Structure 1
């Protein structure tokens, strides 16, 4: 049973400040170290045909292995600092941080961050909700014979070379893990401790996650040549990414609050990074004879998602979701 309080222990302002601190710590960590910072030429050649320009020898781009390694180390430290901040809040409210209360605060932090392993009988179901939504794109991959162990799937090219490069480690393991711990578990934990309602946490909490991706605009602006066209592309892509990541944050926040575990949100994040954005227009052009089947798969995926989301994520005794009923914090 997690440690609960009869009344909120944080003010709304304090929770906002802590959420900002978490976001600033995570994104800011990418720029503290010289090895993690990007560098671009001040007068690069503009890009052409809508593709990024060629990288110059003296530049450091976000996909360079040494940059990725430095950034992975930076966000790891930032994530630990954010978790320690949640621990500090709980420890402070257990008697001004006395050492005899440290173990209790540590255990409460682990529970509130959803870090306990999922061992209940239905623990698998929340992890399957997101794949249900992607039934349409999965069917298109089936038609392309690129699903695991199909004709055009290769163990080396489709698995090893994709997931075990530095880019793969960043995109499909470490970034989803650290981002969900910071922007989902830590942010929602402090909002809950301030007495925020479930709906408020679902729809306001992910804003920090969306805003944290805006800094990619600088990368886009430079990779496309620092022109007016590059600036326009950077602004449009940032607005789109802000909208998409915020919507995705709603989904992962729901998973976390509904299950009390961070792991379904992490697997959803990994799965979405692997799948990318649905490309139904491209799929319809590629398989014109299967248009009805593709449309049906997309519709079935949406219906299945709506049906399974509240049912497959229902978890008894979750502190966050029960908050609206028993007013414990």
Structure 2
């Protein structure tokens, strides 16, 4: 009986340059899908200014289309879902073209293996659970501060409607916490790394090169920021600084989830890590210390323990 290992050995590798080209095409397909449909495109008034307060968004004009408008979000969610499916079909086509003498079932099985799709999610083991806890350990400091603020689930200031229904199941919530992370991980992790694997790219390159594509794919948000803040010098500075930070943050996050994907050979842990990070946001230690002056030492200690725990568990719990 032919095994997946046998199929991996039988596949004809493409060149690394070809792999990089195809990976970039997946990223271009994902980002480009946001601008194909008129309903998904943003629309700004060129003459609109914000002279009063350059640190705040200018008022939205009635005929404009901003990225947080419900109809824009709805169209973009459909677009990236289609783009992700097309990327998966692209990987399937590559496997079919580069392996000979196997049937449709074997081709689907190998494609699923490359994409990290585990079809036995109900077989929970200690290892399969622990790999989802690595990133929450890193956020031990912010989680402890959230506990002090009494806004963890079922604490005094936690509200189901606010923190679950409105947060996760509004159009913005679906984009930020559910469909966005899932489609991005499918495209920028599963599909891109599958092609890198077929291109014979080393694991180090897979971990440290693929996230750059993910980071660059977020740079297009600079155009949105520039227009929302008045199309002036201050708006340009804000757009450049914001996009540079987002490029750095998303690239670093990409290194992490690419490492987890390569180690676990599963898409599940990168998706949960992505959703969790989007939920927590970027840690803000100074604000947390200012809000809880009596717990400054314990908050700092929680941050240090979380970082140390993350460093210890990352290579062990994702093996």
- Same fold flag (TM > 0.5): yes
- 1:40 counterpart residue number: 44
- 1:157 counterpart residue number: 162
Q: Distance in 1 between matches of 2:95 and 2:106?
A: 9
- 1:296 counterpart residue number: 301
- 1:272 counterpart residue number: 277
Q: Distance in 2 between matches of 1:276 and 1:8?
A: 42
User: Does residue 204 in structure 1 map to residue 206 in structure 2?
Assistant: no
Q: Distance in 1 between matches of 2:195 and 2:49?
A: 46
Tell me: CA distance 1:166–1:72, structure 2 relative to 1, closer, same or farther (3 Å). same
Shift of 1:7: 7.2
- 1:25 counterpart residue number: 29
Q: Distance in 1 between matches of 2:173 and 2:292?
A: 29
- Residues 30-78 of structure 1: per-residue CA shift (max 9 Å, x gap): 0000000000111112161512111110110111111011001111111
Q: Distance in 1 between matches of 2:32 and 2:196?
A: 22
Shift of 1:139: 0.4
Q: What's the Cα RMSD here?
A: 1.3
Q: Once superposed, which parts of structure 1, at least 4 consecutive aligned residues long, lie more than 6 Å away?
A: none
1:261 to 258, 266, 269: 266
Q: Distance in 1 between matches of 2:24 and 2:154?
A: 44
User: Does residue 136 in structure 1 map to residue 141 in structure 2?
Assistant: yes
1:245 to 243, 247, 250: 250
How many positions carry a matched residue from both structures?
311
User: Does residue 306 in structure 1 map to residue 308 in structure 2?
Assistant: no
- 1:319 counterpart residue number: none
Shift of 1:110: 0.9
Shift of 1:102: 2.5
Contact 2:11 2:99 in 1 (8 A): no
2:91 to 82, 86, 96: 86
Secondary structure of the 2:8 match is coil
Q: Distance in 1 between matches of 2:261 and 2:9?
A: 20
Shift of 1:6: 5.5
Shift of 1:293: 0.2
Shift of 1:106: 1.3
1:172 to 168, 174, 177: 177
Q: Distance in 2 between matches of 1:101 and 1:258?
A: 28
- 2:223 counterpart residue number: 218
Q: Distance in 2 between matches of 1:141 and 1:49?
A: 31
Q: Distance in 2 between matches of 1:187 and 1:272?
A: 21
Shift of 1:103: 2.3
| 107-116 or 167-176: bigger deviation | 107-116
- Residues 136-193 of structure 1: per-residue CA shift (max 9 Å, x gap): 0000000100000000000111111111100001111000000000000100111111
Gaps of 5+ in 1: 315-329
Q: Distance in 2 between matches of 1:79 and 1:68?
A: 16
Shift of 1:5: 2.1
Contact 2:58 2:228 in 1 (8 A): yes
User: Does residue 74 in structure 1 map to residue 79 in structure 2?
Assistant: yes
| 115-124 or 245-254: bigger deviation | 115-124
- 2:197 counterpart residue number: 192
Gaps of 5+ in 2: none
Q: Distance in 1 between matches of 2:104 and 2:61?
A: 51
Q: Distance in 2 between matches of 1:229 and 1:58?
A: 24
Q: Distance in 2 between matches of 1:173 and 1:110?
A: 21
Q: Distance in 1 between matches of 2:292 and 2:155?
A: 17
Contact 1:7 1:195 in 2 (8 A): no
- 2:114 counterpart residue number: 112
